[in-house]
């Protein structure tokens, strides 16, 4: 039986490749368009403002839960009401429920359960008026919308970055040829 000899790459080759990879990462990371974040921020600020408007600053969110949670972008915004935000998967486990719009429309009690679960973790720093049982000031409402949009947009851009990086890395590995042994 033959014992494998170890990788065909020398330490010097590995170090050179590591330096190339670091250079590519730096270049790609610094080239990443700010526009992606700004577009996501604008989109989600509008979604959060719509959510606040539809729910009268969250005061009637339980009453309109079906309407709110049936819209995917609003459901995302609801998940970000908690501090820290609740992932979609975690929310499904916590509520023992599907988050599909059809299921939510068919089961108003489920919609209410989802909202109640999120509100248990409501970020009282962003939404102080809810726990104080009062109307928000214009400044509080604006700050809550902005902070929520920052959270959602940052999360989306980071997720997209990881996904794109994984896809690129998998393609590079698939296309890589091992170095020739001399």
Q: What is the pTM of this model?
A: 0.77
User: 140 with 128: CB under 8 angstroms?
Assistant: yes
Dist CA 121 CA 126 (whole Å): 12
What angle, 0 to 180 degrees and rounded to 10, lies between the N-to-C axes of helices 72-79 and 108-120? 30
Kindly state whether residue 178 falls inside one of the protein's structural domains: no
Q: Tell me which range, 19-23, 151-155, 165-169, is most confidently predicted by mean pLDDT.
A: 151-155
- The whole-number pLDDT of residue 178 equals 65
pLDDT tens-digit readout, 19-54: 888 888 778 777 767 889 999 999 999 999 999 999
- The whole-number pLDDT of residue 116 equals 97
Kindly state whether residue 62 falls inside one of the protein's structural domains: yes
Kindly state whether residue 180 falls inside one of the protein's structural domains: no
Alpha carbon 132 to its chain's center: 28
Containing structural domain, residue 138: 34-170
pLDDT tens-digit readout, 85-138: 999 999 999 999 999 999 999 999 999 999 999 999 999 999 999 999 999 999
User: 111 with 122: CB under 8 angstroms?
Assistant: no
The sign of the CA dihedral 119, 131, 149, 50 is positive
Domain count, the chain: 1
Kindly state whether residue 107 falls inside one of the protein's structural domains: yes
């Amino acid at each position: 039986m033959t014992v494998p000899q170890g990788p065909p790459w020398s330490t010097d080759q590995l170090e050179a490749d590591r330096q190339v990879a670091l250079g590519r990462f730096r270049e790609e990371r610094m080239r990443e368009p700010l526009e992606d974040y700004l577009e996501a921020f604008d989109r989600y600020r509008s979604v959060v403002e719509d959510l606040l408007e539809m729910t009268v600053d969250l005061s009637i969110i339980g009453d309109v839960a079906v309407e709110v949670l049936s819209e995917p972008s609003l459901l995302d915004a609801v998940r970000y009401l908690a501090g820290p935000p609740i992932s979609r998967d975690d929310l499904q486990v916590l509520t023992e429920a599907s988050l599909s719009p059809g299921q939510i429309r068919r089961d108003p009690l489920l919609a209410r359960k989802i909202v109640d679960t999120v509100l248990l973790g409501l970020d009282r720093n962003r939404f102080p008026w809810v726990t104080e049982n009062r109307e928000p000031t214009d400044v509080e409402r604006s700050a809550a919308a902005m902070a929520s949009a920052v959270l959602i947009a940052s999360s989306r851009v980071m997720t997209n970055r990881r996904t794109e990086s994984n896809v690129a890395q998998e393609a590079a590995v698939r296309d890589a040829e091992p170095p020739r042994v001399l």
